[in-house]
Chain A
């Protein structure tokens, strides 16, 4: 218990450092004193303070939001499917949200961000139900490779439909190719603040339900013996995962592997206790996305690399190394 609390505090400290760096670093480095002033005592005449307040603050908020949402969504999915490779990006849920947004853009519906969010929710929800029904039930629940392949297949299908829409419509392609690279800069801060309560409520509900979900993860018989309504908990979990994954996708574009790598590392630190796993995953996910964003900002100045690309590069290698470390029987 004390050790877990210490780890959670360490993760929170890492997040604070990442936030500070995210506010300070970029094409124009700004010292931390100015950053602090910009946040607590804004001087509207100072251009550096305005950069922090107008550009980097909203970008950092989006990063924290998306990272925390994906970390928690990944941890929940891994518990629900009892599968270490469950990740909203890998399983095609983010791709479902992307497709829905692309269709809406083409149809002229998704002009504003406010319209894109519910559309992304619908797309993510459909993809989540399909991949869960196919890859995560029955005898395959224990076979990580099958779930991963089901996700890859679903992603391939959704991606090719997305491409089909994009081929027809150049204007949508222009918006999509920037969005898909996962950028934290394209969104207005007031748009994203609308997502904050959704993500916070979803994470809170996940924490409240985590004991029951953990019992379900132990086995259906054990859960039933404890008097838990298994179907209800499962449905609730899928709804939360969908809300979190779609919020993250709407805010930052489709990010893969954050939901995979973060809970995996968190589990190594805090063990199987789901409430602690969720807390550490939320903090760690936020920190990871911010770090990936900072890396993309400073690696190739003056241009930037989208956070979707840096997370996939880093996460893909973590995934492959995880596969390397696994014992044969676990596959």
Chain B
């Protein structure tokens, strides 16, 4: 246990959590350099870093790194962090390691909202799609909460209601796909798979803005979240206002998932896997928010790089890649739980 102090602010942290966090940060920087440098065009490390910072170093680095690789890598990092945080909060709130916004309907709702805007307003600007995704996510979340609410919210019931609502949202998306002409449907499908290609600095700025607003709120409620893991009564007794904290945290989690979906389309399994890996590596007793964010960023950037390094025929969008790796992990979790181990 140690205390980090910056002026008046102090954060207590376990030594191991701190070490893991630093290590993840180092890994992330290494991955970022790798993402900036490695590719078809040869760029030196020094040029790549300067180009990413916006300094003119001449062709090809100015365009390839400054306009293509850097925004793409940063998008992956920021979206990964959002998904990691969103999953960590949701898993802690529902006290279920299998909960994740991509399975309980929130991401599907965001997808429906975004496809609806693609259908209604054919010219797709990021902001309109983002607004559609956010509206869809919030609407489905509200519907899930209403359906799961019976005096109190039982987390398991929330998950099941979410699965049902998710299917409704998915059916709506599929209906919209049949109504589009095939070219638009192809575009929408490409978006529905989840991809980081072609993301620009606008996307990075949007993601960064969302994080800048929501992360301080989450950190402010982190203690309440950790206390609520001990049970609502205990938390109440320790002076946490359970209802208010839960509402704020749930809304933050939904917004993070919605914003991430708006930027890249629904990317599955990061929100599920990142918090679990963060818990396992830090051996933290309670929810580990910042390590989850770093882990999510590192995982998504790794998956993005891996998907680019695949041979030409197998270059799929990163969303397919995370599903191919993440789904077996989830199945393994379920299988292990069914053998009577800790879930």
Residue interface mask A115-153, B partner, CB < 8 A = 1? 000000000000000100111011111011110111011
Q: Roughly how many angstroms separate A7 CA and B121 CA in the complex, as a whole number?
A: 50
- B98, chain A: closest CB distance, angstroms: 5
Q: If the complex has contacts A156-B323, A167-B190, A323-B164, are A181 and B175 also in contact, measured as CB distance less than 8 A?
A: yes
Shortest beta-carbon distance, B268 to chain A, in Å?
Answer: 6
Please tell me if the beta carbons of A324 and B148 are within 8 angstroms of each other in the complex.
Answer: yes
Question: Does B168 lie within 8 Å of A312, measured CB to CB?
Answer: yes
**Residue A306 lies at the interface, judged by CB distance under 8 Å to chain B:** yes
Is B324 part of the binding interface, using a Cβ–Cβ cutoff of 8 Å?
Answer: yes
Residues of chain A within 8 A of B337, CB atoms compared: 139-140, 143, 146
Q: Number of A-B pairs whose CB atoms are under 8 Å?
A: 176
Which residues between 307 and 330 of chain B lie within 8 Å of chain A, taking CB atoms? 316-317, 319-320, 323-324, 327-328, 330
Interface residues of B, count at CB 8 A = 54
B160 and A146 contacting across the interface, CB-CB below 8 Å: no
- For B160, what are the chain A residues with a Cβ–Cβ distance below 8 Å? 85, 144-145, 148, 319-320, 322-323, 326, 331
Of the listed stretches A24-32, A34-42, A170-178, A194-202, chain B binds A170-178
| A149 and B330 form a contact (CB under 8 A) | yes
Q: Residues of B contacting A145 with CB < 8 Å?
A: 96, 98, 156, 159-160
Find out whether the CB atom of A163 lies under 8 angstroms from the CB atom of B320: yes
Among candidates A141, A160, A170, A316, residue contacting B324 with C-beta atoms closer than 8 Å: A160
Interface residue B56 (Cβ < 8 Å from any Cβ of A)? no
The 8 A CB mask of B143-179 against A (1 = contact, 0 = none) is 0100110100010110111011111101110110111
Cα-based distance from A173 to B174 in the complex (angstroms): 12
**Which residues of chain A from 166 to 191 have any CB-CB distance to chain B below 8 Å in the complex?**
166-167, 170, 173-174, 177-178, 180-181
Decide if A157 is an interface residue (CB 8 Å cutoff): yes
Any chain A CB within 8 A of the CB of B9? no
| Residue in contact with A316 in the complex, picked from B102, B167, B268, B269, CB distance below 8 Å | B167
Q: Which residues of chain A are within 8 angstroms of B172 by Cβ–Cβ distance?
A: 309, 313
Q: B186: CB under 8 A from chain A?
A: yes
Most chain B C-beta atoms within 10 Å of own C-beta, residue among A150, A312, A313, A323:
A323
Q: Cβ of B53: which chain A residues have Cβ within 8 Å of it?
A: none
Find chain B residues with CB under 8 A from A139 CB: 337-340
The answer for the CA separation of A326 and B158 in the assembled complex, in Å, is: 12
CB distance from B107 to the nearest CB of A (A): 10
Q: How far is the CA of A152 from the CA of B182 in the complex (A)?
A: 27
A193 CB, min distance to chain B CBs, angstroms: 27
**Residues of chain A lying within 8 A (CB to CB) of residue B192:** 163
Q: Quick check: A166 and B163 within 8 Å, CB to CB?
A: no
A272 contacts B by Cβ under 8 Å: no
Quick one: closest B residue to A314, CB to CB? B168
**Is B324 a contact of A157 with CB atoms below 8 Å?**
yes
Contacts of A181 in B (CB 8 A): 174-175, 177-178
B338 near A306 with CB under 8 A, answer no
Q: Give the one of A160, A163, A323 with max B CB within 10 A.
A: A160
* B331, CB-defined interface residue at 8 Å: yes
Task: Check if A157 sits within 8 Å of B171, measured CB to CB.
Answer: no
Binding site for A on B (CB under 8 A): 96, 98, 102-103, 144, 147-148, 150, 154, 156-157, 159-161, 163-168, 170-172, 174-175, 177-179, 182, 185-186, 189-190, 192-193, 268-269, 316-317, 319-320, 323-324, 327-328, 330-331, 334-335, 337-340, 343
- What are 12 A-B pairs with beta-carbon distances under 8 A? A90-B163, A139-B339, A154-B331, A156-B269, A256-B167, A315-B167, A319-B160, A319-B163, A323-B157, A324-B150, A326-B157, A331-B157
